[in-house]
Amino acid sequence: MNYWLVKTEPGTYSWDDFVKLGRDMWNGVRNFQARNNLKAMKDGDEVLFYHSVTGKEVVGIAKVIKEHYPDPTADEPIWKVVDLVPIRKLNKPVGLAEIKADPRFEGFILVRNSRLSVMPVGKEHYDLILSLAE
Protein backbone atom coordinates (compact mmCIF):
# COMPACT_ATOMS: atom_id res chain seq x y z
CA MET A 1 0.00 0.00 0.00
CA ASN A 2 1.09 3.55 -0.72
CA TYR A 3 0.17 6.76 1.06
CA TRP A 4 -0.70 10.15 -0.39
CA LEU A 5 -1.82 13.64 0.55
CA VAL A 6 -4.36 15.70 -1.39
CA LYS A 7 -4.99 19.37 -0.79
CA THR A 8 -8.15 21.41 -1.10
CA GLU A 9 -9.32 24.83 -0.02
CA PRO A 10 -12.01 24.21 2.61
CA GLY A 11 -14.01 27.25 1.46
CA THR A 12 -14.40 25.55 -1.92
CA TYR A 13 -14.47 21.86 -0.96
CA SER A 14 -14.04 20.75 2.64
CA TRP A 15 -13.75 17.47 4.49
CA ASP A 16 -17.40 17.89 5.55
CA ASP A 17 -18.44 18.35 1.89
CA PHE A 18 -16.54 15.17 1.02
CA VAL A 19 -18.15 13.20 3.87
CA LYS A 20 -21.65 14.34 2.80
CA LEU A 21 -21.00 12.97 -0.70
CA GLY A 22 -19.57 9.73 0.67
CA ARG A 23 -17.55 9.19 -2.52
CA ASP A 24 -16.11 11.62 -5.02
CA MET A 25 -13.66 11.95 -7.86
CA TRP A 26 -10.54 14.03 -7.18
CA ASN A 27 -10.71 16.33 -10.19
CA GLY A 28 -9.39 19.67 -11.36
CA VAL A 29 -5.69 18.83 -11.08
CA ARG A 30 -3.79 20.79 -13.75
CA ASN A 31 -0.20 20.29 -12.69
CA PHE A 32 1.86 17.55 -14.37
CA GLN A 33 3.61 16.38 -11.21
CA ALA A 34 0.32 16.19 -9.30
CA ARG A 35 -1.29 14.42 -12.27
CA ASN A 36 1.51 11.86 -12.32
CA ASN A 37 0.91 11.26 -8.62
CA LEU A 38 -2.78 10.64 -9.32
CA LYS A 39 -1.77 8.14 -12.02
CA ALA A 40 0.43 6.32 -9.48
CA MET A 41 -2.40 5.88 -6.95
CA LYS A 42 -3.70 2.34 -6.58
CA ASP A 43 -6.97 0.93 -5.31
CA GLY A 44 -6.77 0.71 -1.51
CA ASP A 45 -4.06 3.36 -1.07
CA GLU A 46 -4.70 5.68 1.88
CA VAL A 47 -4.85 9.45 1.42
CA LEU A 48 -4.40 12.28 3.91
CA PHE A 49 -6.98 15.02 3.31
CA TYR A 50 -5.41 18.46 3.79
CA HIS A 51 -7.15 21.83 4.09
CA SER A 52 -4.98 24.43 2.37
CA VAL A 53 -5.11 28.24 2.55
CA THR A 54 -7.53 28.32 5.52
CA GLY A 55 -6.42 26.05 8.32
CA LYS A 56 -3.38 24.52 6.60
CA GLU A 57 -3.89 21.19 8.32
CA VAL A 58 -4.44 17.50 7.73
CA VAL A 59 -8.03 16.81 8.80
CA GLY A 60 -8.95 13.32 7.61
CA ILE A 61 -8.10 10.04 5.94
CA ALA A 62 -9.55 8.84 2.65
CA LYS A 63 -9.00 5.76 0.50
CA VAL A 64 -8.60 5.30 -3.25
CA ILE A 65 -11.45 3.15 -4.57
CA LYS A 66 -10.99 3.70 -8.31
CA GLU A 67 -7.67 4.19 -10.06
CA HIS A 68 -7.03 6.97 -12.54
CA TYR A 69 -9.25 7.72 -15.51
CA PRO A 70 -9.73 10.83 -17.70
CA ASP A 71 -10.92 13.94 -15.86
CA PRO A 72 -14.41 14.68 -17.23
CA THR A 73 -14.02 18.36 -16.23
CA ALA A 74 -10.95 18.82 -18.46
CA ASP A 75 -10.82 19.87 -22.10
CA GLU A 76 -7.80 17.63 -22.73
CA PRO A 77 -7.66 13.87 -22.05
CA ILE A 78 -4.19 14.11 -20.44
CA TRP A 79 -5.67 15.13 -17.06
CA LYS A 80 -6.71 12.37 -14.66
CA VAL A 81 -8.89 11.78 -11.62
CA VAL A 82 -9.20 9.05 -9.01
CA ASP A 83 -12.21 8.19 -6.89
CA LEU A 84 -11.90 8.53 -3.12
CA VAL A 85 -14.05 7.67 -0.13
CA PRO A 86 -13.70 9.19 3.34
CA ILE A 87 -12.44 6.79 6.02
CA ARG A 88 -12.38 8.96 9.12
CA LYS A 89 -11.85 12.43 10.45
CA LEU A 90 -8.70 12.84 12.53
CA ASN A 91 -9.26 13.26 16.28
CA LYS A 92 -7.16 16.42 16.11
CA PRO A 93 -6.07 18.23 12.93
CA VAL A 94 -2.32 18.27 12.32
CA GLY A 95 -1.25 21.71 11.18
CA LEU A 96 1.49 22.68 8.76
CA ALA A 97 3.20 24.78 11.46
CA GLU A 98 3.38 21.71 13.73
CA ILE A 99 4.76 19.62 10.88
CA LYS A 100 7.38 22.23 9.92
CA ALA A 101 8.50 22.57 13.54
CA ASP A 102 9.12 18.83 13.92
CA PRO A 103 12.56 17.69 12.72
CA ARG A 104 11.16 14.20 12.04
CA PHE A 105 9.46 15.69 8.96
CA GLU A 106 12.73 16.60 7.29
CA GLY A 107 12.39 15.62 3.65
CA PHE A 108 8.57 15.56 3.76
CA ILE A 109 7.30 16.93 0.43
CA LEU A 110 4.65 19.10 2.10
CA VAL A 111 7.46 20.98 3.84
CA ARG A 112 9.65 21.23 0.73
CA ASN A 113 6.94 21.88 -1.87
CA SER A 114 3.83 23.09 -0.10
CA ARG A 115 2.21 24.17 -3.39
CA LEU A 116 1.90 20.66 -4.85
CA SER A 117 -1.74 19.54 -4.60
CA VAL A 118 -1.25 15.75 -4.77
CA MET A 119 1.88 14.21 -3.25
CA PRO A 120 3.25 10.91 -2.01
CA VAL A 121 3.73 10.41 1.71
CA GLY A 122 6.22 7.93 3.15
CA LYS A 123 4.84 5.43 5.65
CA GLU A 124 6.95 6.92 8.46
CA HIS A 125 5.49 10.41 7.86
CA TYR A 126 1.99 9.00 7.44
CA ASP A 127 2.24 7.12 10.75
CA LEU A 128 3.73 10.18 12.45
CA ILE A 129 0.84 12.40 11.31
CA LEU A 130 -1.64 9.84 12.63
CA SER A 131 0.17 9.71 15.99
CA LEU A 132 0.14 13.53 16.24
CA ALA A 133 -3.60 13.49 15.58
CA GLU A 134 -4.32 11.38 18.69
Give the tens place of pLDDT for each residue, 33-52: 999 999 999 999 999 999 99
Q: What 3-state class would DSSP assign to 69?
A: strand
The answer for residues whose C-beta is within 8 angstroms of residue 100's C-beta and 6 or more apart is 111
State the total domains in the chain: 1
* Helix (H), strand (E), coil (C) string for 104-125: HHCCCHHHHCCCCCEEEECHHH
The pLDDT tens digits for 106-127 are: 999 999 887 899 999 999 999 9
The boundaries of the domain holding residue 14 are 3-132
Q: Strand 3-8: give its sheet, edge to edge.
A: 24-25, 80-95, 57-70, 46-51, 3-8, 118-121
The pLDDT tens digits for 51-95 are: 999 999 999 999 999 999 999 999 999 999 999 999 999 999 999
What's the pLDDT band for 96 if we cut at 50, 70, 90? very high
Residue 118 pairs in a beta bridge with: 6
Instruction: Read off the CATH number of the domain in which 120 is found.
Output: 3.10.590.10
